[in-house]
Amino acid sequence: MTRKIGFLGCGQMGQAMIQGMIESRVVEPEQISATALTDETIDFVADEYGISISNDNKKLAATSDILFLAVKPYMYEGVIQEIKSSVTEDTIVVTVAAGITLEKVKQSFDFNVKVIRSMPNTPSLVGAGMSVLCPNDFVTEEELAVVKELFESFGESEVIGEQHMDAIPAISGSSPAYVYMFIEAMADAAVQQGLPRDKAYKLAAQSVQGAAKMVLETGKHPGELKDIVCTPGGTTIEAVNMLEQTGMRSSVIQSMNAATARAKELSKGKK
């Protein structure tokens, strides 16, 4: 991969992708440039990742072949107005934002701009990301393949139709947060029983990772895998029964529906 990659906005998600890309060695730090608002972030990112970083968005846009917009959704309009004269029909713009539609981005640029709407997640930082991509009509198959390769440098990726994009934050963009809460809660319960906290986090996190790997690698239904853990008359079925009584499944479904409702609000331009 020899293309020049730009990150306009270098917060939590931008840095996770930058770190994942560099760590994978699919791109060299010299290929990546970024912008940030504050000197503090500029100094930190330059030191931490060894990439070139400034506060000049127009220059970044003019010199990037693939330009990631990693700012918050409500900042898109302002940022696009700032850079649109520096972006050409050859630039591939990659949006990284809940609720920003392909049509909205094209309208803001006001020309046939190549756009790939993406929804990554922060485990990209450790090469275990899950990203979903959706290109507009001006992106060629070859260009999509190049960008997909970039996303796969820090995890897995899937291409889907835009009608599903508002549902993606809930299932993969935001979901690491709920899993951290689950891990924290399990650790708290273990600490209540007297386990040291550091051991409790390790046991909970490794079990979550192992369970996820079982789903991905055995191809078995999650329900079947759960049944295998439930020894008749044993401990697991007691916990499963209590999770059902306290509404765990319903809580997860309602929470994810709330995340999707927020994505739909953002796509209607609500701040």
Ligand X SMILES: NC(=O)C1=CN([C@@H]2O[C@H](COP(=O)(O)OP(=O)(O)OC[C@H]3O[C@@H](n4cnc5c(N)ncnc54)[C@H](O)[C@@H]3O)[C@@H](O)[C@H]2O)C=CC1
Ligand Y SMILES: O=C(O)[C@@H]1CCC=N1
Taking the C-alpha atoms of residue 68 and residue 203, their distance in angstroms, rounded to an integer, is 36
Q: Which stretch binds ligand Y (CB under 6 A): 75-83, 132-140, 166-174, 227-235?
A: 166-174
Judged by CB under 6 A, does residue 15 bind ligand Y?
Answer: no
230 is annotated as contributing to ligand binding: no
Instruction: Name the phi and psi angles at 244, rounded to 5.
Output: -65, -45
Instruction: Name the phi and psi angles at 219, rounded to 5.
Output: 75, 5
Q: Which stretch binds ligand Y (CB under 6 A): 52-60, 107-115, 132-140, 169-177?
A: 169-177
Site for ligand X, residues 39 to 58, rule: CB under 6 A: 41, 57
Decide: 168 and 132 in contact? Cβ < 8 Å.
yes
Nearest residue to ligand Y, by Cβ distance, number only = 173
Judged by CB under 6 A, does residue 174 bind ligand Y?
Answer: yes
**Shortest reach from residue 49's CB to ligand X, in Å:** 14
Distances (CA, A) of 64 to 5, 6, 61, 68: 5, 5, 5, 9
Among 71, 169, 183, 260, binds ligand Y (CB under 6 A): 169
**Shortest reach from residue 98's CB to ligand Y, in Å:** 4
Taking the C-alpha atoms of residue 164 and residue 134, their distance in angstroms, rounded to an integer, is 10
Judged by CB under 6 A, does residue 67 bind ligand X?
Answer: no
Map residues 115-154 to x or -, x wherever contact with ligand X holds by CB under 6 A. Answer: ----xxxx--------------------------------
**Shortest reach from residue 123's CB to ligand Y, in Å:** 11
Among 3, 11, 63, 211, binds ligand X (CB under 6 A): 11
Residue 100 DSSP code: -
9 is annotated as contributing to ligand binding: yes
Taking the C-alpha atoms of residue 129 and residue 158, their distance in angstroms, rounded to an integer, is 11
Taking the C-alpha atoms of residue 7 and residue 93, their distance in angstroms, rounded to an integer, is 10
Residue type, position 47, single letter: D
Judged by CB under 6 A, does residue 120 bind ligand Y?
Answer: no
Sort residue 65 into left (φ over 0), alpha (ψ -120 to 50) or beta: alpha
Cβ within 8 Å of residue 27, ≥6 positions away: 1, 5, 21, 150, 153
Among 60, 98, 133, 139, binds ligand Y (CB under 6 A): 98
The per-type count for the chain, helices as H runs and strands as E runs, is 12, 8
Q: How far separated are the first and last CA of the chain, in Å rounded?
A: 37
Q: Which is nearer to ligand Y, 9 or 173 (CB)?
A: 173
Q: Can you give the binding site for ligand X, defined by CB under 6 A?
A: 8-14, 35-37, 41, 57, 70-73, 75, 79, 96-98, 119-122, 173
Q: Can you give the binding site for ligand Y, defined by CB under 6 A?
A: 98, 169, 173-174
Binding-site residue numbers are: 8-13, 57, 70-73
